[in-house]
Structure 1
Amino acid sequence: MAISYLTNENIDIKKWDKCIKKAFNGTIYAYSWYLNIVSKGWGALIEGDYEKVMPLPQTRIAGIDILTQPKLTGHLGVFSTTTITEAVLRAFFDEIPPYFRYTKIKLNKHNQMQNTTSHQNPLVSLDFDLIKPYLKVKESYPEPLQILLDAASSLKMNVVPQISAEKITELKKKHFAFQSNAATEELLAMQLLVTTATNNKVGQLCGVVGPDDKVYALGFLCGRIKKPRWFFISHNTRNWSL
């Protein structure tokens, strides 16, 4: 089937979200509401009647249109209910409009492609398997990390669910007086993601609370039940971790 490029206003959001929901490699990052927050004006490549889709997070730098991985987004690429071969993936990349001079998008693990062109630089995202019991998973960690985990468990911290999104801003501003425009925008985007996901019942913000009732870290779990995504927000880093 033919692959078409659509600008944001021409995308059928209902069909788009239905495709992402049914896709074997669907992810929270590819839903329309999520993309609307992290990549305003995103476009898309669509095969047939939304059987396969590929979000195109676009931006302009120094007058040049490029496709680049949005902040707060783990992986994107092609999403489908059927197997995605390298030929399919290459067909999608070949349909990227030529006025996008550079492409650097993190692909999901079901998107495997070799020998890309010089202006296309796809990145690969990996998943962490948590099927094993926690103690078995912990055994595979490096010894220094295990020591840190044991030390952390002795601090008598508690994980408290259903923390309000406003705590994100409060925690960051408390520990970092200076906020660049980019950092402030990212902070607001994270807060909006938490609020939207919570309202849609697909996410929950948890807090790590000490014996003094202070919140020392926040964790945001978001996504489908069988494949959630974890955002860690701590007081000792400027960056959000996925």
Structure 2
Amino acid sequence: MKKISFVSHSQINKSKWDYCMNKSINRSVYGISWYLDIVSENWDALIYGDYELIIPVTSKKYTCFFPFIKHLSQPLFCQQLGAFSSNENLLTDSKLIMSILSFFKKRYYNLGYSFNHHTSIVYKNCIINNQLTFKYIDRINLELDLQLDYDKIFKEYHKNTKRNINKNFSHKIKSIKNVSFFVNFLKKNLPKNVLLKTKDYKTIYNIISISISKCCGKCLGLYNDKDELLAGVFFLTLYDRHILLFNASFKDNSQYNYMAFLIDFFIKQHAFKNEFLDFEGSNIKGVKRFYKSFGAVEKNYLHIK
């Protein structure tokens, strides 16, 4: 009988790993090997059989004083992980799920890990039905199906969003080629409660640079008639999904919502395609309300603690 095994980073066959991810029902850029290498340098894995089901294991030392104690930790800029497979039966197998959860509980002193939307319900049910001692919460993710034509999508916008977009405002939208310029714009204009360290901005730079080099990332900027940048976004695109990973707007006394213009522009470009715009969601009410105002719906995921 096949079993699930822990595989350390150096022993992972990344060609087989990425093949499994590319074929998975619930494939995600968050779990592709090159992305994990950026956000969690020495990630390990749980692997079933010959890479038939894969689970990224992203851990860090609990403290520098106790290096032998490890913490299962969700990396920054990596919203959802968990199990990935092309076999639905493996993704929902109760014995396999119990093995995975038991491994996490026994091996890690502290937990903070998110399971992808596709598997969240079965993992939550396993925790509840077996009375496992995990704390868990549902975290919000918002996404917009882009398969309808733009006029039909626009019809579902909130009236305030429509009003913002219809304001007469002289602007232009173009690609931002200079990644350092974009990252510096983020530094200056992200809300003060976003507490990122220097190393985190380095990670952002690496995500954007490597994604662009792999033709799956794009920075867009909204400029005024003086060619001053007012809002910037970075979309990470893979598997017919555009993830709004980083964005920021210049704060002034203007009546305009600069970000609304940018997002609407992107939706207009990609409407009537079999794709999704993934806002990544937020439990912050104002952010959630803004993303929902484009017609986005909740596709939530499970976070265990």
Q: 1:139–1:181: structure 2 CA closer, same or farther, 3 Å change rule?
A: closer
Q: 1:101–1:208: structure 2 CA closer, same or farther, 3 Å change rule?
A: same
Contact 1:13 1:32 in 2 (8 A): yes
The equivalent of 1:168 in structure 2 is 182
Instruction: Give the Cα–Cα distance (whole angstroms) in 2 for the partners of residues 138 and 89 of structure 1.
Output: 41
RMSD over equivalenced CA pairs, Å: 2.8
Report deviation, 1:136.
Answer: 3.0
The equivalent of 2:153 in structure 1 is 137
Contact 1:161 1:206 in 2 (8 A): yes
Instruction: Give the Cα–Cα distance (whole angstroms) in 1 for the partners of residues 74 and 138 of structure 2.
Output: 9
SS at match of 2:118: coil
Greater displacement, 9-18 / 96-105: 96-105
Q: 1:225–1:213: structure 2 CA closer, same or farther, 3 Å change rule?
A: farther
Instruction: Give the Cα–Cα distance (whole angstroms) in 2 for the partners of residues 128 and 91 of structure 1.
Output: 34
Instruction: Give the Cα–Cα distance (whole angstroms) in 2 for the partners of residues 139 and 81 of structure 1.
Output: 36
The equivalent of 1:67 in structure 2 is 72
Instruction: Give the Cα–Cα distance (whole angstroms) in 2 for the partners of residues 55 and 164 of structure 1.
Output: 32
SS at match of 1:93: helix
The equivalent of 2:13 in structure 1 is 12
TM-score relative to the length of structure 2 = 0.68
Does 1:235 pair with 2:249? yes
Contact 1:107 1:123 in 2 (8 A): no
* Equivalent residue runs for 1:95-134 within 5 Å: 95-96=103-104, 98-111=106-119, 112=121, 113=123, 114-116=125-127, 117-119=132-134, 121=136, 123=138, 126=141, 127-134=143-150
Show structure 1 runs of 5+ residues with no match. Answer: none
Contact 2:7 2:46 in 1 (8 A): yes
Report deviation, 1:123.
Answer: 4.8
Q: 1:86–1:131: structure 2 CA closer, same or farther, 3 Å change rule?
A: farther
Per chain length, whose mean CA-contact separation is higher, i.e. which structure has more relative contact order (CA < 8 Å, sep 6+)?
2
Paired AA for residue 113 in structure 2: I
* Equivalent residue runs for 1:1-242 within 5 Å: 1-62=2-63, 63=66, 64-83=69-88, 84-85=91-92, 87=94, 88-96=96-104, 98-111=106-119, 112=121, 113=123, 114-116=125-127, 117-119=132-134, 121=136, 123=138, 126=141, 127-151=143-167, 154-175=168-189, 182-236=196-250, 242=280
Show structure 2 runs of 5+ residues with no match. Answer: 252-278, 281-305
* Greater fraction of residues in helix: 2
Greater displacement, 41-50 / 100-109: 100-109
Greater displacement, 89-98 / 73-82: 89-98
